[in-house]
Amino acid sequence: MAAALNGYKSVMKLLIDRGADHFHVEKSTGWTNLMMVSLGGGYDAAQLLLDNGADPNTADINQRTALEIATLQDNKEVIELLEMKTTNRMRVADLEKTRIVAATEV
């Protein structure tokens, strides 16, 4: 769902209401719509997917979850939401440390 990448909640809701596959996983990357929202969308779009059954613990082919992707993108709104929903907080804490260290080395 391309609307997920841009966080178009109203378009996403319309598509979900009309039966669109919001659980779709991109075969080449393993990315879900929740991961796309984590990359470029906002809180409301992520909440819509979660309210409709999206699993925040699903990992892509690189074993990254939506929370890890949001952390890498510094998507604070989505990070806060997913932190309440995910079960793998230790890995995200390690990822956050790596991101901070990398930023200070530039």
- CATH assignment at residue 16: 1.25.40.20
Burial of 93 (0-12, 13-18, 19+ CB in 10 A): exposed
Number of domains in the chain: 1
User: What are the pLDDT tens digits along the chain (106 aa)?
Assistant: 566 665 667 777 777 787 776 667 778 899 998 998 998 878 998 999 999 989 999 999 999 999 999 989 999 999 989 988 876 555 555 666 655 555 555 4
Domain with 87, as residue range(s), is 2-104
| Confidence (pLDDT) at 83 | 87
